[in-house]
Amino acid sequence: MKITRDLYQGSLTLLTDFYQFTMAYAYWKSGKAEQEAVFNLFFRKNPFQSGFTVAAGLDYVIDYCRNFQFSDKDLAYLADMNDGNGKPTFEAAFIDYLKDLKFSCDIDAVEEGEVVFPNMPLVRVRGPLIQCQLLETPLLNIINFQTLVATKAARIVLAAKDDPVIEFGLRRAQGIDGALAASRASYIGGCSSTSNVMAGQLFGIPVAGTHAHSWIMSFENELEAFKAYAEAFPDHTILLVDTYDTVNGIKNAIEVAKLLKERGKKLLGIRIDSGDLAYFSNIAREMLDTAGFPEVQIVASNDLDEHIMTSLKMQEASINVWGVGTKLVTAFDQPALGAVYKMSALKNEEGEWVPKIKLSQQSIKINIPGIHNVKRFIVNGKAIGDMIYLENLEEKEQVTIIDPIDPTRRKRISVANADSEVLLKPIFKNGEKIYSRPSLEEIRNRARNRLAAFDKTHKRLINPHIYPVGLEASLYEYRTSLVLKAKALENGK
């Protein structure tokens, strides 16, 4: 069984749903495979009842698209598929067609670490129908999970105020790939380090850690274990104090701090992993301060999330570093983002783009037609609203953005008095990568800087103020007219 790292170096082109292949085949059969289309990847609701979402996963998407080709093994597998009675699912000529298929799409996407909102495109794919279709599932798989975890991490980091957060999730993450992707997304969302050594190796994330209860249990007594650990790591000692009796553990840690001091060294910290974290961290702080060790850090862990951390902050717990695992990497309270990938335009035989709309009983599910982009308006360094607009929109002095779900929510923006930034950046042009990838450090900084541009009312963890994102008025009208037309057609049928 190959592990993730090897899998990524190999072909991942079959990592899609079978129905993408049934459609691909049928497109090819009906001569539509090369017809140009535009698809958008977007989500409809911020996760965790958050007021914002942090985009992540583009780097994986870039790798996926660059390696998009069918290996001999892939082709052999597809050629071998049959209906159970030996009749091949796909004809040989289709397999030959796939053999020569080269990735040739344009991809525009929001950069990783960008703050994003419902309904705006995160990734826009323009290219032959067959390629757009095959990409649907892997793109959703990548962006959905990483964006979800980056957002959870950003919330946890917000709750930690300025304290460092170490991601401890590997042991309880959703498998190998889930763990690695979660470590990377957590770092983008603002975590300072990870316990996942392979994530350190693969992505350059700082690796950190303390020790487990088993270390203590392998000695006759706790003090002996602490001393031996300090001997092994005189410059990086963090001692877990709650194996037997937390107060006694703190006393033993102070003993070791004194021994280290005699050698000109400092105890870095203690970790508390059970019990009332406010109570014990405050006792520990007082004991350490009284003993003359105010610089010793207190690390807390044990099923933490942004809500418990906020509560601990309110209780004035003396915690300096937060270790967060399970609830971060599994996105515990919302296990999927629910982003979708929808066609919004198709080129007809005359070479004209035809907008595409999908009706739904629920207006939240009616897509945004045409080839669109999103622009963020910024006044005095603060984001004031995002506008989804048709790419061919002419320059305007003033724009009105209209909430696609509740059209009574509108905002007028004076373009002349605002800075603006187009959020979809060109990533691939005709299959060629034209985007130079930022480092993970730059992505993490982007997330921090972008979040800083949003008012704190949008960032509060509970009942956040809704940030205005809307359709530019002419796109709104256009969409409404298309909906009415489609409904009339449906009723007439």
Ligand X SMILES: Nc1ncnc2c1ncn2[C@@H]1O[C@H](COP(=O)(O)OP(=O)(O)OP(=O)(O)O)[C@@H](O)[C@H]1O
* Residues of this chain that bind ligand PRP (CB under 6 A): 168, 171-172, 212-213, 273, 301-304, 323-327
322 makes contact with ligand NIO (CB under 6 A): no
Provide the minimum distance between the beta carbon of 80 and ligand NIO in the complex, in angstroms, as a whole number. 43
Cβ-based nearer residue to ligand X, 205 or 277: 277
Provide the minimum distance between the beta carbon of 151 and ligand X in the complex, in angstroms, as a whole number. 21
249 makes contact with ligand NIO (CB under 6 A): no
Tally Cβ neighbours within 10 Å of residue 154: 29
Contact 278, 314 (CB under 8 A): no
Cβ-based nearer residue to ligand PRP, 171 or 456: 171
Distance CA 359, CA 367 (A): 8
Q: Could you say which of ligand NIO, ligand X, ligand PRP, none residue 278 binds, taking C-beta under 5 to 8 angstroms by partner kind?
A: ligand X
C-alpha distances in Å from residue 33, one per residue of 29, 95, 350: 8, 13, 16
Q: How many helices (H) and strands (E) in the chain? A: 17, 21
Residue of 168, 377, 454, 478 interacting with ligand NIO (CB under 6 A): 168
Q: Could you say which of ligand PRP, ligand NIO, ligand X, none residue 210 binds, taking C-beta under 5 to 8 angstroms by partner kind?
A: ligand NIO
Sign of CA dihedral 283, 288, 294, 298: negative
209 makes contact with ligand NIO (CB under 6 A): yes
Q: Could you say which of ligand PRP, ligand X, ligand NIO, none residue 326 binds, taking C-beta under 5 to 8 angstroms by partner kind?
A: ligand PRP
Contact 150, 186 (CB under 8 A): yes
Q: Could you say which of ligand NIO, ligand X, ligand PRP, none residue 311 binds, taking C-beta under 5 to 8 angstroms by partner kind?
A: ligand X
C-alpha distances in Å from residue 293, one per residue of 240, 244, 256, 257: 17, 22, 11, 8
468 makes contact with ligand NIO (CB under 6 A): no
Question: Binding marks (x or -) toward ligand NIO, 275..314, rule CB under 6 A?
Answer: --------------------------x-------------
Looking at residues 258 to 277 of the shown chain, list those that interact with ligand NIO (rule: CB under 6 A).
Answer: 271
Q: Indicate the SS3 state at residue 387.
A: strand
Q: Could you say which of ligand X, ligand NIO, ligand PRP, none residue 195 binds, taking C-beta under 5 to 8 angstroms by partner kind?
A: ligand NIO
**List of residues contacting ligand X (CB under 6 A):** 274-278, 302-304, 308, 311-312, 315
Q: Could you say which of ligand NIO, ligand X, ligand PRP, none residue 277 binds, taking C-beta under 5 to 8 angstroms by partner kind?
A: ligand X
Q: Could you say which of ligand PRP, ligand NIO, ligand X, none residue 209 binds, taking C-beta under 5 to 8 angstroms by partner kind?
A: ligand NIO
Q: Which residues of 5-20 are buried (b: 16+ CB within 10 A; e: fewer)?
A: eeebeebbbbebeeeb
Q: Could you say which of ligand NIO, ligand X, ligand PRP, none residue 406 binds, taking C-beta under 5 to 8 angstroms by partner kind?
A: none
Q: Could you say which of ligand X, ligand NIO, ligand PRP, none residue 275 binds, taking C-beta under 5 to 8 angstroms by partner kind?
A: ligand X
- What the block records as the tokens of 453 is 């541009």
Q: Could you say which of ligand NIO, ligand PRP, ligand X, none residue 324 binds, taking C-beta under 5 to 8 angstroms by partner kind?
A: ligand PRP
Distance CA 100, CA 415 (A): 47
Q: Indicate the SS3 state at residue 3.
A: coil
Distance CA 441, CA 426 (A): 21
Looking at residues 170 to 199 of the shown chain, list those that interact with ligand NIO (rule: CB under 6 A).
Answer: 195
Provide the minimum distance between the beta carbon of 228 and ligand PRP in the complex, in angstroms, as a whole number. 17
Distance CA 307, CA 312 (A): 9
Work out the angle at residue 33's Cα, subtended by the Cα atoms of residues 32 and 36, and round it to the nearest 5 degrees: 80
Distance CA 183, CA 177 (A): 10
Distance CA 441, CA 217 (A): 38
- What the block records as the tokens of 348 is 């007809």
Provide the minimum distance between the beta carbon of 325 and ligand X in the complex, in angstroms, as a whole number. 11
Chain-centre distance for alpha carbon 3: 22
The stretches of 18-128 forming alpha helices (DSSP H) are 18-29, 58-66, 72-80, 92-99
Provide the minimum distance between the beta carbon of 311 and ligand NIO in the complex, in angstroms, as a whole number. 21
325 makes contact with ligand NIO (CB under 6 A): yes
Provide the minimum distance between the beta carbon of 195 and ligand PRP in the complex, in angstroms, as a whole number. 8
Provide the minimum distance between the beta carbon of 306 and ligand PRP in the complex, in angstroms, as a whole number. 12
Sign of CA dihedral 450, 454, 458, 462: positive
Cβ-based nearer residue to ligand X, 170 or 277: 277
Provide the minimum distance between the beta carbon of 30 and ligand PRP in the complex, in angstroms, as a whole number. 51
Distance CA 284, CA 251 (A): 9
Q: Could you say which of ligand X, ligand NIO, ligand PRP, none residue 315 binds, taking C-beta under 5 to 8 angstroms by partner kind?
A: ligand X
Residue of 147, 151, 210, 320 interacting with ligand NIO (CB under 6 A): 210
Instruction: Name residues whose C-beta falls within 8 Å of residue 135's C-beta, 6 or more positions apart in sequence.
Output: 16, 39, 64, 65, 68, 105, 125
Cβ-based nearer residue to ligand PRP, 135 or 304: 304
- What the block records as the tokens of 237 is 């000692």
Task: With CA atoms as reference, report the closest residue to 134 among 341, 355, 336.
Answer: 341
Distance CA 231, CA 395 (A): 68
Provide the minimum distance between the beta carbon of 276 and ligand X in the complex, in angstroms, as a whole number. 5
Q: Which residues bind ligand NIO (CB under 6 A)?
A: 168, 195, 209-210, 271, 301, 323, 325
